[in-house]
């Protein structure tokens, strides 16, 4: 992921060269991955459509993480959310990963990322440019920086504009478990 980051600072032509070069080099297996058996389904929501996922009232604890493939600290902590989703399934905890990737990156980066990393948590994409309206609805203290996470149950709710490691994440989730 780090590699892709530098594209932004790179000369366009160099970028094209790099893509050409790397596609020549890519092995058979990689090509299969890009062309065949490619069925990652991605639900794309605006904020009104996303909101029900942030306000469920059942017996589960929901951990909603806002991330993007281009966000290095998000990618760093993503495996912890995946692990949490797996380890705490039996404790009625569900992780939802809300991607803020740009729509023109869904096919190029987001779906390949989901597939390559075999993400097991529910992934949805939020495509709603009017962030000034929806950011305060998620939390009034959120300045808009990602990563950001909401943990909620039917009884309580907490918002975090920060990164997590696994033990920190467990600690917060445990506050929601009886």
Partner 1 sequence: MKTIKKWSALLLIAVIASAFTSVNKGYKIGDIATDFKLENIDGKMVSMSNFEDAKGFIITFTCNTCPYAVAYEDRIEALNKMYAPKGYPVIAIMPNNIDVKPGDNMAAMQKRAKEKGFTFPYLMDKDQEIYPQYGATKTPHIYVLEKTKKGNVVKYIGAIDDNYQDASKVKTKYVENAVNALLNGKEIEVKETKAIGCSIKV
Contacts with partner 1, residue ranges (CB under 8 A) = 5-6, 8-9, 11, 68, 70-73, 100, 102-103, 129-132, 135-136, 142-147, 161
CB 36, min distance to partner 1, A:
29
Enclosing H/E stretch for 135: helix 131-138
CB 49, min distance to partner 1, A:
17
**Is the Cβ of residue 24 or residue 129 nearer to partner 1 in the bound state?**
129
The closest of 43, 27, 51, 16 to 138, measured between CA atoms, is: 51
**Is the Cβ of residue 70 or residue 88 nearer to partner 1 in the bound state?**
70
CB 4, min distance to partner 1, A:
10
Strand partners, 45: 126
Residue 82, C-beta contacts closer than 8 angstroms, at least 6 positions apart: 95, 117, 119, 120, 121
CB contact at 8 A, 177 and 91: yes
Phi first, then psi, for residue 146 (nearest 5°) are: -115, 150
Instruction: Please give the structure tokens belonging to residue 38.
Output: 């490619």
**Is the Cβ of residue 118 or residue 140 nearer to partner 1 in the bound state?**
140
CB 72, min distance to partner 1, A:
8
**Is the Cβ of residue 6 or residue 38 nearer to partner 1 in the bound state?**
6
CB 110, min distance to partner 1, A:
12
Compute the chain's Rg from CA coordinates: 18
Enclosing H/E stretch for 96: strand 93-99
**Is the Cβ of residue 5 or residue 21 nearer to partner 1 in the bound state?**
5
Enclosing H/E stretch for 43: strand 43-45
């Amino acid at each position: 992921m780090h590699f892709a980051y530098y594209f932004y600072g790179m000369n366009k032509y160099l970028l094209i060269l790099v893509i050409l070069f790397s596609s020549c080099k890519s092995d058979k297996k990689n090509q299969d991955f890009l062309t065949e058996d490619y069925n990652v389904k991605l639900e794309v929501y605006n904020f009104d459509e996303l909101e029900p996922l942030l306000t469920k009232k059942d017996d589960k604890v929901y951990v909603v993480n806002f991330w993007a493939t281009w966000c290095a600290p998000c990618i760093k902590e993503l495996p912890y959310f995946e692990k949490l989703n797996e380890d705490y399934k039996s404790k009625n905890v569900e992780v939802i990963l809300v991607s803020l990737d740009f729509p023109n990156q869904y096919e190029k980066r987001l779906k390949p990322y989901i597939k390559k990393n075999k993400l097991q948590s529910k992934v949805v994409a939020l495509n709603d440019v009017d962030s000034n309206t929806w950011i305060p609805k998620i939390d009034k203290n959120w300045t808009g920086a990602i990563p950001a996470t909401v943990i909620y149950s039917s009884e309580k709710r907490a918002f975090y504009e920060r990164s997590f490691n696994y033990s920190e994440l467990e600690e917060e989730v445990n506050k929601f478990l009886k």
